Structure 1
Amino acid sequence: MKILTLLGSARKKGNTACILGWVEEELKALGHEVERVDLGNKKINGCLGCAKCKENTKAIDCIQKDDAEGVLEKMIAADVTLFTSPAYFWGFTAQVKALMDRSWSLVSGFHTPKHTSLVEGKSQALLVTGGGQYDNNVEPLFTAFGRLRSFYKAEDAGDLFIGGCTIDGQRPEDAKERALAFARAMVK
């Protein structure tokens, strides 16, 4: 399987990057092709809301020429896309949110019988890290991502939240075990 991982953290060696590394290693050990895109190294402008991308339902066709189109093309080519983000103020990081906004160009006719998506039938998963607990903290990220998967007409490949992470790299004792189990479940 061809798996695309999207690192949505600005910290190259932070908790999200570390846990994603464990997931990627397990996926590779299982024989899958894994490609990581570090969104912090990409220039992805915010969506202009111009709807120019809606004129062509068979291509991305955004008027902005930055790194978003290349990342979106990788999502189209992948069997599974894993979005990752630390929780920042009850939301996704700016890096992830900008790409999600620009992914509007992947979908046409939402809420109509003509709803199409360039990633329809592909699988998508979400990995979030944070310092707090799930309740009253990160549940809106998972709700929003579930709706995004529906918008994409994508399949659910799973979700994982690892809370109790600290800025100095402390993680729960079972974090690696949970990450490896998540990787295996993603590709069942």
Structure 2
Amino acid sequence: MKIVTLLGSARTTGNTATILGWVEDELRTLGHDVERINLTKKNIKPCLGCAKCKESETEINCVQKDDAEEILQKMIDADVTVFSSPTYFWGYTASVKALMDRSWSLVTNYKKPNHASLLEGKRQGVILTGGSDYENNAEGLVFAFNKLQGFYKTQNAGELFAGKCTIDGNRPEDAEKRAITFARNLVS
């Protein structure tokens, strides 16, 4: 399978990047093609809400010309997309949120009989890290991710939250084992 991972952390050796790396390593071991995109290194402008993208059901059609269109096309071309983000103030990082907002261009006629998505049928997963427990960190992000699956018409292939992470790189002892299990579930 072709898999695109989206790193939403500026800390390229931090908890989120490390856990995502374990997932990517396992996916490669299983024989899958994996490409990581570091969203914090990309130019992703905020959605303008102009709705120009709604004029086409077969292409991205965004008026803004930045790195978002290339990333969204890679998501379309992939079998699986994995979002990853530390929790920032009970939300996704700005780079992840900006890409999610711009993904509005991938869907037309939401909640109508002719609802169409350029991602329909694809698999998606999410990896989240945080300093506290699930309820005080990731619960709202997972809720939003699940809503996004309905919008995209995609399959939720898994959710992984590693709580009790610290800025100095401490993670739960079972984080690597859980990352490997998550990776296997993404492609099963």
Which category describes the TM-score, using the shorter chain as reference length? over 0.9
Deviation at 1:22, TM superposition (A): 0.4
CA distance in 1, matches of 2:7, 2:136: 24
Partner amino acid, structure 1, of 2:24:
E
CA distance in 2, matches of 1:15, 1:137: 15
Deviation at 1:56, TM superposition (A): 1.1
User: Quick check: 2:131–2:137 contact (8 Å CA) kept in 1?
Assistant: no
**Aligned residue in 1 for 2:140:** 140
Deviation at 1:135, TM superposition (A): 1.2
CA distance in 1, matches of 2:39, 2:136: 27
CA distance in 2, matches of 1:177, 1:136: 23
Gaps in structure 2 of 5+ consecutive residues: none
**TM-score (normalizing by structure 2):** 0.99
CA distance in 1, matches of 2:125, 2:6: 10
Q: Could you say what secondary structure the match of 2:101 adopts?
A: helix
Q: Which runs of 4+ in 1 moved over 2 A?
A: none
* 1:103 lines up with 2:92 in the alignment: no
**Aligned residue in 1 for 2:171:** 171
Q: What's the C-alpha RMSD, in Å, of the aligned pairs?
A: 0.5
User: Quick check: 2:120–2:152 contact (8 Å CA) kept in 1?
Assistant: yes
Deviation at 1:156, TM superposition (A): 1.1
**Aligned residue in 2 for 1:79:** 79
Aligned ranges for residues 54-133 of structure 1 at < 5 Å? 54-133=54-133
Partner amino acid, structure 1, of 2:144:
A
Deviation at 1:57, TM superposition (A): 1.1
Q: Which moved more, 1:40-49 or 1:129-138?
A: 129-138
Partner amino acid, structure 2, of 1:183:
A
Q: Could you say what secondary structure the match of 1:126 adopts?
A: strand
Partner amino acid, structure 2, of 1:31:
G
User: Quick check: 2:87–2:130 contact (8 Å CA) kept in 1?
Assistant: yes
Q: Could you say what secondary structure the match of 2:92 adopts?
A: coil
Q: Could you say what secondary structure the match of 2:142 adopts?
A: helix
Q: Could you say what secondary structure the match of 1:135 adopts?
A: helix
CA deviation string 1:31-52 (max 9, x = no partner): 0000000001100000000000
Deviation at 1:137, TM superposition (A): 2.4
Deviation at 1:83, TM superposition (A): 0.3
**TM-score (normalizing by structure 1):** 0.99
CA deviation string 1:103-140 (max 9, x = no partner): 00000000100100000000000000011000132100
Q: Could you say what secondary structure the match of 2:134 adopts?
A: coil
Q: Could you say what secondary structure the match of 2:3 adopts?
A: strand
Q: How many residues align?
A: 188
Q: Could you say what secondary structure the match of 1:159 adopts?
A: strand
**Aligned residue in 2 for 1:183:** 183
CA distance in 1, matches of 2:41, 2:96: 12
**Aligned residue in 1 for 2:43:** 43
**Aligned residue in 1 for 2:3:** 3
* Percent of aligned pairs with the same amino acid: 64
